[in-house]
Amino acid sequence: MLDNAARPGVNSLGLPRAPRDTRVVVAMSGGVDSSVVAAMLHAEGYDVVGVTLQLYDHGAALARKGACCAGRDIHDARRVAETLDFPHYVLDYENRFRESVIDEFADAYLAGATPVPCIRCNERVKFRDLLETARDLDADCMATGHYIRRLEGPAGAELHRAADPARDQSYFLFSTTPEQLDFLRFPLGGLGSKAETRALAARFGLAVADKPDSQDICFVPNGSYAQVIEKLRPGAVEPGEIVHLDGRVLGRHEGVIHYTVGQRRGLGIGGAGEPLFVVRLDAETRRVIVGPREALASRSLTVGEVNWLGDGGFGAAPEGGWEVAVRVRSTRPPKPARVHPLGDGRARVELLGPEEGIAPGQACVFYAPEGTRVLGGGWIRKD
C-alpha cells in the first residue's frame, strides 16, 4: 500500500527500525488524502504526529469554502487526529507564506507572468520550513498526501509519477531536492484511484471520507486572481491597449492581470473578424498582444532555477543535451525534448514538436523519455 515496498530489515517506509520506533510527521491539510495517510501509518503502528499549517488569516479562512488551508480544514485535521488518538499541532506560518508565496504571486502577475503558487508553497514552505520543523520534532521522516511516488533507485531515492495518471501531482513537486526526497514519503502514490483513497477513509471511519476535493488556490476566493492582486497591490493595476501582432490597436483593457497567454475568451474585442488569442503580455508598456492560434506555437523556451533529480550533474550533459520529455502545463502530457544547460541554473529547452501557449511563470517539468521518473525542471522565463 505504501510507496516503498518493504525490504528485508526495513519497515514499509524504508527505514531500518520497527514502526513503533519510527516517528512520522504527517502534513495534514484537513482533506481526505492527508487524513488517509495519517490513518494508514497509525494503523501500521507508526509514531504519528500530525501537523497542520495556518497559512493566512484565520478569521478570513472561516468564511471560505473549497480551499485547502481554510479554518474548516484545520478543524477537520484536528478531528481526525482526535478520532485516531495521535498528537496534532497547528503551526502559524502566515508570515512565511505571505513572504514566500503570496507576495511573489502578486508581483509575478503584475509583471505579465502566470505563476504557480502551489509549487512555491511546496518548495518554500512545506518542504523547507515544515520539513525542518519535522526534524525539530525528532521525526525520522515526513509524509504527505501528494499523489507521487518515491522509489529507491541504484543511486538513491528517485521521484516518479503516481500510479494513477489522473491524480499525478509530479508537475507541482518538480522542485523537490534530493536532500528533501531523502526525508519525504508519499504513501498514496501507488494507489490506483481516488476512489480507493476514499474507500480507505471510510474503512478507517474518517468523517472526511466524502469531503470534496479543494479546487481553488487556498488564498484566492472563487478563482478571482485579479481581485486578490488588487487587494494586495492597491493602485498597481493600470489599464492599457489590446494590440494585434500586426500593430493594430483593437481595444483597451483594465490591467494585464486579467489575461494569460493562450486565453481566447473574455478579451473584450468582439468583431475582430478572426479567432484571436493572447500571445504575449508586455507589462512595461501595459499591452496585451493578441494574434491567431498559430502564433501561440513554439519549439523552444528558456527556464531558470533548474532543479535536477537525474543521475549525474545537470551541467555535465551529453553532447546534444539531455534527452527528456517535458510538461509545460500541468494539464498537458509530457512531450519529447532536449535540455541544454546554460549555467547559473538556466537551460534552453528544445521541443521536438511545437507547443502552444508557453507562458512565463509556469513550470517546465522534465521526465525520463521512457518510464515514470521525474528528472526535475525549471521556471519558464521571458526570452
Residues noted as catalytic = 121, 218
Ordered alpha helix ranges (H), the chain: 32-43, 58-62, 71-84, 94-97, 103-110, 117-121, 131-136, 178-183, 194-203, 225-232
Let me know if 357 is exposed, middle or buried by CB neighbors in 10 A (0-12, 13-18, 19+).
Answer: buried
Helix (H) / strand (E) element for 241: namely: strand 240-244
The answer to whether 9 touches 17, Cβ cutoff 8 Å, is no
Are β-strands 141-143 and 184-185 bridged in parallel, bridged antiparallel, or unpaired? Answer: parallel
Instruction: Report the alpha-carbon distance of residue 178 to residue 310 in Å, rounded.
Output: 10
Question: Could you please report the per-residue DSSP string of 264-308?
Answer: -TT-S-TT-SS--EEEEEETTTTEEEEE-GGGGEEEEEEEEEEEE
Chain centre to alpha carbon of residue 14:
25
In what order do the strands lie in the sheet containing 240-244? Answer: 249-253, 240-244, 287-291, 277-282
As separate numbers, helices (DSSP H) first and strands (DSSP E) second, the chain gives 10, 17
Instruction: Report the alpha-carbon distance of residue 75 to residue 78 in Å, rounded.
Output: 5
The answer to whether 114 touches 104, Cβ cutoff 8 Å, is no
In what order do the strands lie in the sheet containing 184-185? Answer: 88-92, 47-54, 23-27, 141-143, 184-185
Instruction: Report the alpha-carbon distance of residue 75 to residue 56 in Å, rounded.
Output: 15
Residue found by looking up cell 527556464 in the block? 303
Q: Which residues pair with 308 in a beta bridge?
A: 376
Residue found by looking up cell 508570515 in the block? 95
